[in-house]
Amino acid sequence: MTRISVKVDGTAYEDEVEPRLLLVHYLRDRLGLTGTPVGCDTTNCGACMVDLDGKSVKSCSVLAVQADGGEVTTIQGLASADGEWHPLQRAFHEQHALQCGFCTPGMIMAARDLLRENPDPTPEEVREGLEGNLCRCTGYMNIVRAVLAAAAEERRHQAPEPGAVAEHAEPSTAGSGAPV
Partner 1 sequence: MTDQLTGREPEVGRARVRKEDARLVTGRTNWTDNITVPGLLHIAILRSPMAHARIERIDVTPALERPGVVAAYTGRDLAEGLGSLPCAWPVTEDIVLPEHPPVAVDEVRHTGDPVAVVVARDRYAAADALEAIDVDYEPLPPVLNMEAALAEGSPLVHADKGTNRCYTWPLATGEDYATVRERADVVLRRRFVQQRLIPNAMEPRAVVAVPPDTSDQYTLYSATQIPHIVRVMMAVVTGIPEHRLRVVAPDVGGGFGSKLQVYGEEAIGLAVARKLGRPVKWTESRSEGYLATHHGRDQIQDLELAATRDGRLLGLKVDLLADMGAYLMIVTPGVPLLGAFMFPGIYKMDAYDFTCTGVFTTKTPTDAYRGAGRPEATFAIERMMDELAAELGMDSVEVRRRNWIGHDEFPYTTIGGLTYDSGNYESATDKALALFGYDDLRSEQRKREERGDPVRLGIGVSTYTEMCGLAPSRILRDLRYGAGGWEAASIRMLPTGKVEVLTGTSPHGQGHVTSWSQIAADVLGVPFEDVEVLHGDTRTVPQGMDTYGSRSLVVGGVAVHRAARKVVDKARKVAAHLLEASEDDLDFADGVFSVKGSPDAHKTIQEVAFATFTSHDLPDGLEPTINAEHVEDPEAFSYPHGTHLCAVEVDTETGRVRIRSYVCVDDVGKVVNPMIVEGQVHGGLAQGIAQALFEEAVYDEEGNLVSGTMADYLVPCAADLPDFLTDRTETPATTNPLGVKGVGEAGTIASTPAVVNAVVDALRPLGVTDVRMPCTPERIWRALRDARSARPEEGSS
Phi first, then psi, for residue 4 (nearest 5°) are: -125, 150
Check residue 59 for interaction with partner 1 (CB under 8 A).
no
Provide the minimum distance between the beta carbon of 118 and partner 1 in the complex, in angstroms, as a whole number: 15
Binding to partner 1, residues 100-129 (CB under 8 A): 100-105, 108, 123, 126-128
**Single residue of 2, 5, 11, 44 touching partner 1 by CB under 8 A:** 44
**Single residue of 5, 34, 119, 164 touching partner 1 by CB under 8 A:** 34
Check residue 150 for interaction with partner 1 (CB under 8 A).
no
Provide the minimum distance between the beta carbon of 141 and partner 1 in the complex, in angstroms, as a whole number: 5
- Binding residues for partner 1, rule CB under 8 A, total 65
Check residue 65 for interaction with partner 1 (CB under 8 A).
no
- Provide CB contacts within 8 A for 132, sequence distance 6+: 44, 46, 49, 58, 110
Per CB under 8 A, residues contacting partner 1 are 18, 20-21, 25, 28-29, 32-45, 47, 74-76, 78-79, 85, 89, 92-94, 96, 98-105, 108, 123, 126-128, 130-144, 176-180
